[in-house]
Chains A and B, each alone.
Chain A
Amino acid sequence: MKLLVSWLRDFVDLRQPVAEVASTLSMCGFEVAGIEADEVIDFEITANRPDCLSVAGLAREAATAFDVPLRLPWADPAGHSVTSGARAVPTPSRIDGERISVSIEAPDLCPRYAAALAEVTIGPSPDWLAARLTAAGVRPINNVVDVTNYVLLEIGHPLHAFDLERLDGRRLCARRARPGERIRTLDGEARALDPEMLVIADGSSAQAVAGVMGGAASEVWSGTRVIALESAYFKPASVRRTSKRLGLKSEASTRFERGTDINVPVVALERACSLLERIGAGRPVGAPIDVYPAPRGPVDLTLRRERIDWLLGVGVDDGEVARILTGLGFAVTGVPGGWRVSVPTRRVDVLREADLIEEVARHFGYDKVPSHFPPLRAVAPRPDPRMARKALVRHVLAAAGFSEAVSWTFIDAADAAPFAGPGEAPVPLAYPLSEKFAVLRPSLLPGLVDGVAHNRRHQIRDVRLFEVGASFSAAEGERHRVAFALTGAGVMEHWGGGMRPADFFDAVGVVERLGEALALPLRFADSTASCLVPGRAAAVSVGETTVGAVGLLVPAESERRGLPGGDEIFVAELDLDAIDRLAPIADTEVRALPRFPSIVRDISVVIDERLRSQQVRETIQRVAPATLVGMREFDRYKGQGIPEGRYSLSLRLTFRASDRTLTDADVQEAMERIMAALATEHGAIQR
C-alpha cells in the first residue's frame, strides 16, 4: 500500500516529517518497504488489516499514534448504517427517467449490494487527482474510473462503474454463474465460470466477476452517458476462491477476500458521487439503492483490566487504554473491572479480548513492555533417543571422512524411479514447482548421487557425502534414513604411497562401523536391489529384518546423472526407523574382564567359490564350544594351487574359558569338531 503523506495530512494534522511518520507507523505494526521521493511511504499491510489498505485506515492509526484528532470528510459508517441501510426488498427504481433494478439472488455470497446512477461526461481527470493516483501507483484512465480508484485508495472500498446503457434490461443481479457461462473480463481475457462463482449479471449475461473484475461488455468508454456505480459487500471466502480459481487478482479482490466493511458501501457511493460533481465529471441521479437484507451492527466485547497485565506482563494506565481504543474507532464504555468495547465492522480482525489487548499493546509500545525470564518449574524431559541416534550417526560418518549433505525432498520422477521399492511408485506432488521437483524422494540416494556429480564437475575426485533425512513411500509414508556415497580414493594419496581407489569393502567397512556405533549385529547377504550392481551389492539385516543395502551404483544410473563413465560410486542406505524399532537404546551392561589366557588357532580351508564366508562362520559358530570367543577372516586366496571353482579362506579363532586356563587338548578337540563340520557341510578341505 503506497501512502501519499500529503493525502494523509487531509485527515490528520501532522507536522512530523515523512520519515518520522514512517518509523512511528512501523512501530505500530505497519512494515515500511520503502520511502519514495520523501512523499510516498510504501507499507506492507498484513493480511489481518484490510482496513489499512486505505488512506483513511492509516490516518486513524497515525492519529492514535501521534495523539492528534482524526478528521474524515464523511460520517463514520459504524454507527449509522445499521438503521439507514435496512431496506430488505429488492427495489426497482426509476429516477429522473433513468432506472435500474438491483437484486441479490445469492445472499450467502453477497449480503449487501448498493448502486447509484450518475450522468457523466467521460474525459481526463484534473491534474491533482491524476497526480494522487500516480503517486499511489495507480494509472489514471478517465475521470469516472479514476474516481472509483480514488475512493478505493481513500476509503479502502472497491467500486465498479458499469455503462448503464450497455446493461441488458438495465438490471444488476448478484447471482451464481450458470453452468458453462463465460465472460470477457476487462483485461481482455475470456474466462470460463462455474456455479460456485458469484457474478453480477444484467438481464442476459454475466457483466462482472463479483469482487474480482468487471466485464468488457459493459465497460465505461468515451461515449458513456450514464453509469451505474456498484458498491457491495462480497463474502471473503467466495472472492478468494473465485480469484484463485481464475488465477486473477485485482486491487478489489485483494480487499474483498480479506474482508471489507459491510457498513461502508453507501458512504463510498456518496463519496464517489460528490467527487464526480467536484471535478465536473458528472452528477448523481437520485439517491443510491441499497439492498441489505440482514444488516449487521458492531460487535460488543468485554475487556478486563487485569487481563492486560496478565497477558502483557505490564499494566497499562486506564486513561491510555481508553485513549488508544477510542482513537482507533472503537466505542468504549467503562464497566466494573474494565470496559465494554464496541468493534466497528471494518475491524474484521478484532473478534475477542486478546485482539483488543493487542490493539492496546501496539500503541502502548512493545518497547515499554519489560523483559523477563520465565521461571522453570520442572526438569525438562529427557531428549528423544531417536534424535540422539541421528546425532550419533552424523558424528560417526563425519569421523569416517564423510561430509554432510542436505538435498531436496522433492526430486525428478526419473531420478526417483530406480530407488523406489519393488513394485512401488514414488509419491507425486499435486502441483509441483517443476519437473525437477515432481515426486517425494523414495530414498536419499538420488540426492547424494547429484551431490557427487556436482563435486565431480568441479574437479573434486574424492567425494564422500552422507545425509540423514526422511524418505517417502505411498504405502509406508515417511521413513527416516541415513545414506552415504563414496567415490575416488579408498586410502588417500600420500607421499609415502599406499593410495588405492575405493572398493566395495570400504563401503561395507563404513556400514560395519555404523553398526558397531549403534550396537547392532549386522549381517550381509547378496542383494538384488535394482540400483546396485549384482555381485557387488549386499542387503544389510539385523536378525530377520532387512535394514538397508550397500553396494556399487549401477553405471547406467551414474552416467545418466552426468558422472564420468569410469567412476565407481559406492552407496549405502539404512532405515533408521527400522533400527529404532529393533534396538531401543539401553544402558550398557559390562561383562567382567577375562581372568584366564586365551589360545589362538588359525584354520585354512579350501571351499566352493559360491560359498559365502557368512555361512562358514555360522557353521563354526554352531559346532564350536562356548569357549570360542573370537573369529576373524584374515586371508582369502584364489589361484595357483587351488582348484578351479574353489578358494582358500583363512580364519583366526580365539578360545578362552571364563573359569579356567584352557588346555591344548580342549582346543584341539574343538578344532577337530569344527573341521569335521566344515568338511561334511561344505565339502571343505583343510589346506
Chain B
Amino acid sequence: MPEAADIDRLRAEFEAALAGAATEPTLREVRDRYLARKGGVIAALMKAVSGAAPADRPVLGKLANQFKHDVEEAIEARRASLESGRPAADSVDVTLPGRQAPLGHLHPLTLVRQQIESIFSRMGYEILEGPEVEDDYHNFEALNMPPEHPARDMQDTFFLANPVPQTGLGTPGTRTSTRPAPPDRPATLLRTHTSAMQIRYMEAHEPPVRIVAIGKVFRRDNPDLTHTPMFHQFEGLLVDDGVTFADLKGTLTAFVREIFAPDTKVMFRPSFFPYTEPSAEMFIGCVFCAGAGCPVCKRTGWLEILGSGMVHPSVLEAVGYDAERYSGFAFGTGIERVAMLKYGVDDIRLFYENDLRFLEQFSF
C-alpha cells in the first residue's frame, strides 16, 4: 500500500527526470512515462491510492492529486519554455566571444630560428649572434678568400661608405685562448654570411668548438620570389680531434630529420665553398611531392637544403689552430629557405612586408 513517503520519492524522481529533459523529444518521454493513461506513473499511483485503507484514502488522495497537478504544470511550463526558446532570466549566451586582451604572433623566421637553436643546443652547440657590420678580414680573408678571389663574386657585397666602429654583439663571452687577440678593425661592409662569426669565435677559443652562429646577412640581390638583399642564415661549426666527413653526414642528417620529418631522405653531393674542403651540398627528398617530382624541386624529387664541408685547413691555420691535429666541419643555410619549405611560403618577400594577415597565421 502506498504511503506519503512513496509520493515524496516519486516527486524527487520526477524532478530529476525533468531536469534532464532539455529537448522536446526527451520531454515527451517524461510526459508519457508519468501522465500516460495506461501504465503511466501517475495512473498507477491513483490506482494504488484507490486501493488504500479507507482511513488513509482522503490524505493520500489529496497528496496524489497535488502531485499530479504539479507534474502537469511543470511539464507544461517546460514545454512552453522549450517552444519559445527563451532562456532563464539569469542565463547568458555562452557562445558569445569573451573579452580579449590581444595576442601577438612571433615572426615565422623567429619560430624556425627557435627550432634550429633548440635542435643544436641539444646537440651541445653554443648559439651565437655576431655583428652585422664586419671587416673584410673576418668576412673574406680569414675564410680563404683573399682580395680578388673569384669566389667573392658568389657573395656580392654591400660596402659602407665610411667605416664604423665595431661594437656589435660580436665578441663572444669569455676568451679561452692564450693566442694574441687579433687587432681591432673597423667595420667596412655588411656581412655576406655568418661564417665571419666562426672566425671571431675561433680567434678567442681553443678546440673543441661547437657553435651555431645565426642572424641577418646581406648580398646584392634585387628582390624577387626567392631573393632579397637581406636574409637570415645559420651556420654551424664543429672543430675537435678526429672530426670526419662521416660526422658531418650524421649531424646534418639528424638535423633535417628533426626540423622536417623523421623519415626525410637525404643526399650529399660535391660542391665548392672556399672555406671548406671537401665541400658538400645537402639535399632532402622534396617535402612537397615526396620525391615524385614537382615544379618546386624542378622534377628532380630533391631540394637543396644546406651547404657544408670539412673546414679548410687554411681557415684553421688563419685562426692559429694546428690543422695537422684538428679537423672540423661547417654547414649553413638560409632560415628563410627552411621556413619556406616548412610553411609552404612561395614568395620570400612576404617575410619582410610585416602584413598582419601573414604574421597572424603563425603561432604565438
Contact = CB atoms under 8 A, between A and B. Distances in A.
A313 interface: yes
B150 A401 contact: no
A28 interface: yes
Contacts of A665: none
A397 B150 CA distance: 45
Interface string B350-363: 01111111011000
B269 A404 contact: no
Interface stretch (B56-64, B67-75, B97-105): B97-105
B20 interface: no
A431 B190 CA distance: 12
Interface stretch (A84-92, A472-480, A524-532, A609-617): A472-480
B270 A361 contact: yes
Nearest to A353: B313
Contacts of B312: 354
Interface string B204-234: 0000101000001010101000000110000
B159 A492 contact: no
A475 B164 CA distance: 7
Contact of A429 (B97, B160, B169, B242): B160
A406 B351 contact: yes
Interface in A402-428: 402-410, 427-428
Given A477-B168, A494-B99, A464 B104 contact: yes
A394 interface: yes
Which of A386, A430, A464, A478 has the most chain B CB atoms inside 10 A of its CB?
A: A478
Nearest to B153: A47
Nearest to A34: B298
B250 A372 contact: yes
A358 B246 contact: no
Contacts of A357: 277-278
Interface string A431-475: 111000100100000011011001100101011111001101111
B168 A458 contact: no
Of B114, B150, B249, which is in contact with the most chain A CB atoms at under 10 Å from its CB? B150
Contacts of B238: 374
Given A310-B242, A376-B124, A430 B148 contact: no
A47 B151 contact: yes
B110 A476 contact: no
Contacts of A455: 354-356
B128 interface: yes
Q: Give the size range of B's interface with the partner.
A: 35 or more
Contact of A406 (B109, B210, B218, B229): B109
A377 interface: yes
A432 B222 CA distance: 11
Contacts of B272: 29, 46-49
Contacts of B137: none
Contacts of B364: 398-399
Nearest to A385: B173
A403 B359 contact: yes
Interface string B24-35: 000000000000
Contacts of B107: 403-406
Interface string A378-409: 11110110110001001101111111111111
Contacts of B240: 374, 377
Contacts of A329: none
A40 B258 CA distance: 39
Please tell me the size bucket of the interface on A: 35 or more
A108 to B, nearest CB: 14
Contacts of A354: 277-278, 310, 312-313
A462 B102 contact: yes
A450 B354 CA distance: 9
Given A372-B244, A372-B247, A384-B128, A495 B110 contact: no
A204 to B, nearest CB: 31
Given A314-B246, A407-B354, A433-B222, A367 B268 contact: yes
B278 A433 contact: no
B148 A240 contact: yes
Nearest to A477: B167
A73 interface: no
A583 to B, nearest CB: 16
A406 B104 contact: no
Nearest to B359: A403
B253 interface: yes
Contact of B161 (A395, A428, A450): A428
A451 B250 contact: no
A658 interface: no
A620 B177 CA distance: 53
A500 interface: no
Interface in A469-512: 469-470, 472-480, 492, 494-496, 498
Contacts of A383: 121, 126-127
B290 interface: no
B359 to A, nearest CB: 4
Contact of B268 (A366, A395, A450): A366
B132 interface: yes
Given A366-B270, A494-B99, A403 B104 contact: yes
B76 to A, nearest CB: 34
Given A237-B148, A310-B242, A476-B165, A355 B277 contact: yes
Contacts of A399: 103-104, 364
Contacts of A376: 123-124, 210
A663 interface: no
A258 B150 contact: yes
Nearest to A493: B100
A312 interface: yes
A35 to B, nearest CB: 11
B269 A366 contact: yes
A403 B267 contact: no
Interface of A: 26-29, 31, 46-49, 236-237, 240-241, 257-258, 310-314, 352, 354-355, 357-358, 361-362, 366-367, 369-374, 376-381, 383-384, 386-387, 391, 394-395, 397-410, 427-433, 437, 440, 447-448, 450-451, 454-455, 458, 460, 462-466, 469-470, 472-480, 492, 494-496, 498, 577
Interface of B: 96-97, 99-107, 109-110, 114, 121, 123-129, 131-133, 147-148, 150-151, 153-154, 158-162, 164-169, 172-173, 187, 190, 208, 210, 216, 218, 220, 222, 229-230, 238, 240, 242-247, 249-251, 253-254, 267-272, 274, 277-281, 310, 312-314, 327, 351-357, 359-360, 364
23 contacts: A28-B270, A31-B281, A352-B314, A361-B245, A369-B268, A376-B123, A377-B240, A380-B126, A384-B128, A387-B129, A403-B106, A404-B104, A405-B107, A406-B354, A408-B352, A409-B132, A427-B161, A427-B162, A451-B354, A460-B357, A477-B131, A477-B168, A492-B101
Given A366-B245, A405-B107, A496-B99, 10 more contacts: A26-B269, A46-B272, A48-B272, A361-B245, A384-B127, A387-B129, A433-B220, A476-B165, A477-B131, A495-B96
